[in-house]
Structure 1
Amino acid sequence: MATATYPPPPPFYRLYKDYNVNPKSIPEPPPPIEGTYVCFGGNYNTDDVLPSLEEQGVRQLYPKEPNVDFKKELRSLSRELQLHILELADVLVERPSQYARRVEDISLIFKNLHHLLNSFRPHQARATLIHVLELQIQRRKQAVEDIKRQREEVQKLPKEALGTLAGQ
């Protein structure tokens, strides 16, 4: 029984058969997907919004104000995490049966830290983009200065050559 090594091309390849003659004959791409869609069995949403902790059923440990001081709150949650880890170690030594509550508290702190860091991502991306653009501007200005310097040196060469020839 003979079988093909590769499967046949998909049927929509026929839409592109006149491309060499008329490149504008190809169909327009499909419009962008908006809303929810399914990909590899998972439901995804095109609205890139971070759900709040309350929507996820988690108690929020930092203030709910819109302008959160990320540095202060991250530092505070980190200290609280250290304290709870030390308390967990103490509980495991003194009262091992009561460790579950401490682990839940640590889990809650980690979820709050994770959410706070994810809330900071847009600010971080904006700052990174600004930094990259400033570096590009700086490199381009340096390149322009190098070109100007090289041009001035090249313009001096014929004058020096003429002066050397005239002196002989």
Structure 2
Amino acid sequence: MADNQGVSAFPLPPMQYVNNYSDDNIKRNKAPQPPPPPVQDKYQMFGQTFTADDAIIRPLEASGVRRLYPQAYDHKRELKKLNHSILINFLDLIDILIRAPDSPKRAEKLEDLNLLFINMHHLINEYRPHQARETLRVMMEEQKKQRNEISDKFQSNLDHVTQVIDSAVRAIPEDLNLDSKLLVESKLLQEAAAIKEEPMEDDHIDSLDQMMCKIVDEMT
């Protein structure tokens, strides 16, 4: 879909975007719209303000959340500890709801659970770059496997075609000389045609008849 100037109104895949930026399309004003300029200052996303220099995964302190694990930590160990803490606090919350639903401790437990979930979510998000690398690695291995299968199939077809061609070449007889009888017949016919083209005189009629009779006898 395009507007009045022929410029695409929808984003294009990267390679298609590049291919459409030909000299002819630029002259005819049919090239895609240029991409937006990179963000230099601040931008809003999900209701929060970010800057271009921010880390991909911002620390908890940047969001005003208290950290429940040390600066140097083992992800696996800390996630297990947070998971156990969430389970214990959830059981405590159930006990409070059973014994004293109106107790102020209920709100405290909810706040504790909220803080535990935020810390766990942050630790999980720190695995996102690793997950992206692993996903890319798996995709590249799958592409490599598919290309190897295509290459093996092409090589198999090439070997089969080569065998068929070799068999056809070996089946061709080495002696391609024509039958001698056919060569004799052709030569006799050519001699007869040459005799017919020559001007015939009366004294040559008998010799021509004899020649024609000889040709017919030899052919039969």
TM-score, normalising length: structure 2: 0.55
Q: Give, in whole Å, the separation in 2 of the partners of 1:54 and 1:32.
A: 27
Q: Give, in whole Å, the separation in 1 of the partners of 2:77 and 2:26.
A: 64
The answer for unaligned runs of 5 or more in structure 2 is: 6-23, 174-220
Q: Give, in whole Å, the separation in 2 of the partners of 1:165 and 1:92.
A: 96
Read off the aligned partner of 1:131 and give its amino acid letter.
Answer: V
Matches within 5 A, 1:39-50: 43-47=49-53, 49=55, 50=57
Out of 62, 72, 76, the residue aligned to residue 71 of structure 1 is 76
* Larger radius of gyration between Structure 1 and Structure 2: 2
Out of 22, 39, 57, the residue aligned to residue 33 of structure 1 is 39
Query: By how many angstroms is 1:55 displaced?
Result: 2.1
CA RMSD, aligned part only? 3.5
Query: Structure 1's 45 and 55: CA in aligned 2 closer, same or farther, altered over 3 A?
Result: closer
Task: Determine whether 1:87 maps to 2:92.
Answer: yes
Q: Give, in whole Å, the separation in 2 of the partners of 1:129 and 1:149.
A: 30
Task: Determine whether 1:134 maps to 2:151.
Answer: no
Query: By how many angstroms is 1:32 displaced?
Result: 2.3
Query: Structure 1's 116 and 31: CA in aligned 2 closer, same or farther, altered over 3 A?
Result: same
The answer for unaligned runs of 5 or more in structure 1 is: 1-7, 11-18
Query: Structure 1's 45 and 87: CA in aligned 2 closer, same or farther, altered over 3 A?
Result: same
Instruction: Quote the residue 2:122 is aligned against.
Output: 115
Instruction: Quote the residue 1:13 is aligned against.
Output: none
Higher relative contact order structure (alpha carbons within 8 Å, sequence separation ≥ 6): 1
| Identity score, percent | 35
TM-score, normalising length: structure 1: 0.70
